[in-house]
Amino acid sequence: MIILHLIKTTVGATWALREIQVLIRLGCEIHVALPDREGLYEDYKTAGAHVHIVNVDIASFKTSPLAFTKAVIDFRKLVLEINPNIIHSHFVGTTYFMRMALTGIPIKRIFQVPGPLHLEKTITRKVDVNLANKYDYWIPTCHLSKQYYLQEGIAKDRLTTIFYGSDVSVFNNNQPKGSLRRELNIPDGIKIVGMVAFVYPPKKWLGQSRGLKGHEDLIDAMSTVIKQRKNVVCVIVGGAWGDSEDYYKQVVEYGENKLGAKVHFLGTRQDVPRLYPDFDIAVHPSLSENLGGAAESLLMGIPTIATNIGGFPDIVKENKTGWLVPPSDPSSLARKIVSVLDHPDNAKKVADFGKQEMLRELDVNNTATQVFDFYKYVMSI
């Protein structure tokens, strides 16, 4: 079968690349639309995908109607040349572009929904549903997203929930501890509460006053924790996403003002798996999220606390694989951090179980095979 994948960026979105690598091994002829030859471009080619340089993210044309028109013409020409069985989009912006550009072309298309963010507001949820027609199908990658579509009247037979998978082989061997402690000169007796996430600025259209990943909430929670336990520090890994450098500086200033020497900002790192083993707890205080970084910390076998939003509850099960707290609630987060630190034996037991569960549930070989099976189902209708 011939599948055309639409991907708006060559920076990040490795979850799409991993899925495509397996789909090619399963026998799909994969074409990929990318905006440039940067980042992961060569990785897609190495995987065996046919790569086409074409911008299909509708957000990039908001100030240039002429560029949008040209992109639509180029895209329609590409689609007619490839003649794919299915067009598979991985982003909201590429999905909207695809649906608008394909007017009059009867090709089935799938939106693999990367997260519930655009579904959490009625107007953006309605746009998604109302732009769709009989050729559209969805792969929500968390159960909350699926529920939103069902509430909007999308038939069950046009939906299937499939997680974006990981290459779990890299998590099968335990990483050695000590690297992060040596780097920051943190003694063994000091507990490390860590967070790994890029800093995203508040989305005003969602009414947010704080960043999407909840950095400030963790900082507020840690200001309470360190008053109760002096042997705790906070390590935040991840720099500014995109052009949000000014907001990143605000977060750093806020953290240093509230926590002083008890907080370490490491910025963007390429060696996160080497840092994780020294975390006593990994915290994911997001305001909106799919599986997010919780998947990674669980696969690393790190005790994991996440907010009870989005796809987190799909994999973070209370006191079974991790712990959940309400979003935007630093007091609850502080209490949970202290509780987990106070019970290290239970924390290890929960983290070990969480790792084994994720090795099974998030293996990209399994999740991509489910996508392949959904292709066959869609083509059979």
Supply the CATH number for residue 117's domain.
3.40.50.2000
54-76: buried (b, 16+ CB within 10 Å) or exposed (e) per residue? Answer: ebbbbebbeeeeeebeebbeebe
Question: How far, in Å, are 55, 59, 369 from residue 62 at the CA level?
Answer: 13, 6, 36
Same domain, 114 and 204: no
- Contact status, residue 209 vs residue 202, Cβ threshold 8 Å: yes
Same domain, 216 and 252: yes
Report whether pLDDT(205) > 90: no
- Contact status, residue 197 vs residue 215, Cβ threshold 8 Å: yes
Mean pLDDT of 149-170: 94
> By C-alpha distance, which of 327, 324, 326, 302 is closest to 315?
324
- Categorize the per-residue pLDDT at 345 as very low, low, confident or very high, splitting at 50, 70 and 90: very high
- Contact status, residue 269 vs residue 313, Cβ threshold 8 Å: no
pLDDT recorded at residue 211: 86
Question: How far, in Å, are 125, 174, 185, 244, 297 from residue 149 at the CA level?
Answer: 8, 39, 49, 31, 29
To which residue do tokens 């969602």 refer?
206
Report whether pLDDT(241) > 90: no
- 45-49, 118-122, 311-315: segment of lowest average pLDDT: 118-122
Same domain, 292 and 145: no
Same domain, 357 and 371: no
Same domain, 82 and 108: yes
Structure confidence by residue, pLDDT tens digits, 177-189? 899 999 999 999 9
Measure the CA–CA gap between 111 and 140, rounded to whole angstroms: 8
What are the structure tokens assigned to 298, written together?
């669980």
pLDDT recorded at residue 98: 97
* More confident of the two residues 59 and 252: 252
Same domain, 179 and 113: no
Q: Assign 316 to helix, strand or coil.
A: coil
Same domain, 36 and 139: yes
Phi, psi of 252 (to 5 degrees): -60, -45
Same domain, 250 and 347: yes
Structure confidence by residue, pLDDT tens digits, 298-338? 999 999 999 999 999 999 999 999 999 999 999 999 999 99
Same domain, 112 and 229: no
Same domain, 154 and 249: no
List, in order, residues 6 or more apart from 147 with CB less than 8 Å away. Answer: none
What domain count does the chain have? 2
Measure the CA–CA gap between 58 and 95, rounded to whole angstroms: 8
Same domain, 174 and 258: yes
Q: What residues make up the domain containing 26?
A: 2-165+363-380
Report whether pLDDT(172) > 70: no
Phi, psi of 166 (to 5 degrees): -125, 160
pLDDT recorded at residue 206: 59
pLDDT recorded at residue 173: 63
Same domain, 232 and 254: yes
